[in-house]
Structure 1
Amino acid sequence: MTLDIWLTRIIPDPRHRDARRDIRSAVGLHHRIMMLFPDGLGSEARQQTGALFRLDETPHGHAVLVQSTIAPDATRLDPAYGQVQSKSLGPLLHKLEQGMRVQYRLTANATRKLGHNTTAGRPRQVVPLHGADAEDWWERQAATSGLTLSSVSSARLDDARGERASDKRSITHARTRFDGTALITDPDALITRLATGIGRGKAYGCGLLSIAPAR
């Protein structure tokens, strides 16, 4: 499969007011990330750019990973906002093959939709999953993403939250981080899911799957 994917790493400067605000708001961070791409893309701009992001906490502070199917333009971001580095994932994608062992990380909104006979909530209500239920969800998602999990550990993270400026609607997405190793069973399916993301809440910091050859 021929597809180029770009990975951008942003290290927000905690001294910058907008950077501090974006770290607290998944909606604000979404809008900041979309500034890396051309204007005039319409109401489906995120889908057109393939933009996904993940907010990671590191020993040195926060890091934002942004993935896209078009090259970002770092000059559209205030230089004082933070450090920005981009690279093509093409060399990695071309090496993916069946049977290859990889390390992965995914922060996702693991959910299930309640059935009509539920007693736990409203029929068709989408409810978050945690713990073993979330890991089972990820195992099913992995199977359709060209992966067979060899190991998995999960950690519940703070919800992704924010308020949409257009209608003042509050956004809340439960987040679980999954880490482990897996075997590639279908490289094309994996590349497709890498590009499109996994689960709900893709505009707000959920669904970005990262892989690397296992050591």
Structure 2
Amino acid sequence: MTAAYLTRIVPDPRSPEARRDARTAVDLHRRLMSLFPDNAGPDPRARFGVLHRTEDTPTGPHLLIQSNHQPDLTKLPTTYGTATTKPLDALLDALRSGLTIRYRCVASPVRKPGATTRAAYNLPAVVALTGTAADEWWYRQADTAGLKIISLHSQPLDTARGTRNPNTGDRQRINHTRTRFDGTAAVLDPQQLRTKILEGIGRGKSYGCGLLSIAPTRPGTE
């Protein structure tokens, strides 16, 4: 089966490179992809299964990066911060039907109205979802991931923003509305869950969305 790694980077707030990367989702994406081999084809993020998100902690933000290729942490600037990598295979191999897990996923919930609906209501091609609509979206995603939601707490986060190709005529503005989903769930289909963990969920995977993290619940915490 495909190998999986989880890397945690604790940026040093004194590092100018770390502060710059934190300003936009595009800069952070470039930094993380620099840790993987070049010449990986048209979509290196997908090739190496790179997913990430920023976790707020009492000691400051941490970066979590999941990948199917071990990143080369020596490519980080020496003053960037501390970083460690561990394999996830044991966690994924232990998945079984009926297992109760805790989950967390920062995702970009959207719907894509049909052409008739867009014309009737003057809607864009992609509509960001928030609140109850975002929760309903998450229930559907969990179902396709082989999970049965037991509990759910959702929290809106800042929008992931940035500009791709800022110095060319092909400027593209990045704008992903984000919601963090936390809770507990029962595993119904271990293989489906493994696939979704490795592939990520929803859009904006290059920009801090889609990483689904799980951990077995402790007795009495379900």
Range into which the TM-score falls when normalised by the shorter chain: over 0.9
**Among 190, 213, 216, the residue aligned to 1:187:** 190
> Structure 1, unaligned stretches of length 5 or more?
none
Determine if the alignment matches structure 1 residue 196 to structure 2 residue 199.
yes
Is the CA contact 1:12–1:19 (under 8 Å) kept in the aligned structure 2?
Answer: yes
Determine if the alignment matches structure 1 residue 27 to structure 2 residue 26.
yes
Partner residue of 1:156? 156
Question: Normalising by structure 1, what TM-score?
Answer: 0.95
User: Aligned-pair distance for 1:63?
Assistant: 0.8
Is the CA contact 2:117–2:123 (under 8 Å) kept in the aligned structure 1?
Answer: no
Match of 1:91, SS state, is: helix
Matches within 5 A, 1:1-215: 2-115=1-114, 116-118=116-118, 119-122=120-123, 125-165=125-165, 167-215=170-218
Is the CA contact 1:7–1:67 (under 8 Å) kept in the aligned structure 2?
Answer: yes
User: Aligned-pair distance for 1:41?
Assistant: 1.1
Question: Normalising by structure 2, what TM-score?
Answer: 0.93
Is the CA contact 1:114–1:121 (under 8 Å) kept in the aligned structure 2?
Answer: no
Moved beyond 4 Å, runs of 4+: none
User: Aligned-pair distance for 1:24?
Assistant: 1.5
Residues of 1 paired with 2:113 and 2:12: CA distance?
A: 42
**1:40-79 superposed Cα distances (whole Å, 9 cap, x missing partner):** 1132111110001101211211111000011111111112
TM-align CA RMSD: 1.2
**1:82-126 superposed Cα distances (whole Å, 9 cap, x missing partner):** 111100001111111000000000000000012323444336x11
Is the CA contact 1:109–1:206 (under 8 Å) kept in the aligned structure 2?
Answer: yes
> Structure 2, unaligned stretches of length 5 or more?
none
